[in-house]
């Protein structure tokens, strides 16, 4: 039997107040996804909203991530049940829905992941039920465990968050600081007092509702500390693009520093 569904590990860590740390993948090579999972991240966020991916690429990412021991989260391009349907059958651990700005948006997101009468999902499992080798009752229970993650990344969403969080079935919230700042007319000013005030406000509402929440950005130690102080259950940091760029730049800079310090010259000169 194929072992999928890694979300239980994350849920257990959250209950025990342990840090949950994920990262992102935007590009197509599933080997990179596997390396990120093996590195020890709790989850890898497959970004099909901004990444260059086909359905087959996403399927390979999910298998590589779960095979490496991490949970596979997928951010879909839009909150559309038609787009979500095939990914559910791949055995993904969680679906991230971008730009959930209202209660109606949240209801649509949750419904697309659940079978009737709770939702509108159609029946046609594949990898998610071990291609039919899983007992049907066990499968229906496992299917309910897929995380339904709503992304709050607009000032309208923050203003409507009390209503959004009343939607039954939301598993977690991702608060997006960059798009939120843009919606406030302060593009990329995520450390401004105005944006921080709204981030604090969103975090407080999630805490009051008892729903796990987190965020997503490139690594910044000061910001990580701020989010932990807000009560975040998880953070999603860096990713394939960041790690390749930063690693390449650091290697080149360190090599040039060695050269400039004269360590490349023969000792007899």
Catalytic residue numbers, as ranges = 50
Q: What is the sign of the dihedral through the CA atoms of 99, 73, 167 and 109? A: positive
The answer to whether the peptide bond before residue 249 is cis (omega within 30 degrees of 0) is no
Number of H helices, E strands in the chain: 12, 8
**Residue 242: its H or E element:** helix 240-260
Query: Shortest CA distance to 42 belongs to which of 235, 183, 251?
Result: 235
Q: Are 152 and 177 in contact (CB under 8 A)?
A: no
Considering Cα of 117, then 134, then 6, then 12, what sign does the dihedral take?
A: positive
C-alpha span between 224 and 205 (Å, rounded): 19
- Say what angle helices 55-67 and 30-38 make with each other, to 10 degrees: 20
């Amino acid at each position: 039997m194929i072992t999928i569904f890694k979300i239980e590990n994350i849920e257990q860590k959250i209950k025990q107040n342990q840090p949950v740390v994920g990262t992102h993948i935007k590009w197509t090579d599933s080997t990179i996804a596997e390396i990120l999972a093996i590195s020890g991240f709790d989850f890898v966020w497959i970004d099909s909203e901004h990444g260059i991916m086909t359905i087959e690429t996403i399927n390979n990412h999910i298998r590589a991530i779960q095979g490496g021991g991490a949970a596979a989260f997928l951010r879909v391009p839009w909150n559309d049940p038609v787009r979500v349907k095939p990914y559910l059958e791949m055995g993904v651990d969680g679906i991230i829905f971008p730009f959930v700005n209202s209660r109606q948006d949240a209801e649509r997101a949750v419904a697309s992941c659940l079978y009737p009468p709770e939702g509108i999902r159609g029946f046609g499992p594949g990898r998610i039920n071990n291609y039919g080798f899983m007992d049907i009752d066990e499968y229906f229970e496992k299917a309910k465990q897929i995380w339904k993650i709503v992304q709050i990344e607009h000032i309208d969403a923050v203003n409507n968050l009390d209503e959004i969080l009343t939607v039954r079935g939301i598993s977690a919230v991702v608060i997006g600081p960059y798009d939120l700042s843009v919606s406030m007319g302060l593009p990329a000013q995520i450390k401004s007092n105005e944006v921080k005030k709204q981030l604090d406000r969103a975090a407080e509402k999630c805490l009051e509702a008892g729903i796990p929440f987190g965020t997503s950005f490139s690594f910044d130690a000061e910001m990580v500390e701020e989010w932990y102080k807000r009560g975040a259950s998880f953070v999603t940091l860096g990713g394939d693009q960041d790690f390749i760029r930063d690693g390449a730049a650091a290697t080149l800079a360190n090599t040039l520093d060695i050269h400039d310090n004269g360590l490349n010259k023969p000792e007899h000169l």
